[in-house]
Amino acid sequence: MPFNSFPELAIFLRKFADERNWEQFHSPKNLAMALSVEVAELTEHFQWLTEAQSLSLNEQQREEVSLEMADVLIYLVRMADRLNIDLLDAARQKVVLNAKKYPAIQKND
């Protein structure tokens, strides 16, 4: 595939959408709604599983889940691209905020 990073994926997806005249539909609002639908489709795969079952998916389940996860990633990257947000930078910032909000628990060894 022609991408190995988020920026390369964003460029590929932008071109893919442009070649299909989809850019007109890819407003942040529409992408956010599409993203929520894809997250719901991902969630559906786990809806009635136990915790243990959710950790031990069979090959077909893993494939289906991976494709739903890809859909989520694609819409998220498209939305970030349309809003000019660097997802890796945003993740770095969020991890720092989470570390402050939820300090590590000291384990007694």
CATH of residue 83: 1.10.287.1080
Report how far residue 37's alpha carbon sits from residue 67's, in angstroms, rounded to the nearest whole number: 14
The verdict on residue 33 lying in a domain is yes
> Which domain range does residue 91 map to?
6-101
* Full-model pTM: 0.89
In a domain, 107, yes or no: no
Q: Is the pLDDT of residue 6 over 80?
A: yes
Domain membership flag for residue 108: no
Number of domains in the chain: 1
Q: What's the mean pLDDT in 18-31?
A: 96
With contact defined as beta carbons under 8 Å apart, do 27 and 81 qualify?
A: no
pLDDT at 106: 87
Q: Which of 22, 46, 45, 19 is nearest to 34 (CA)?
A: 22
**Residue 69 belongs to a domain:** yes
Is residue 1 one of the residues assigned to a domain? no
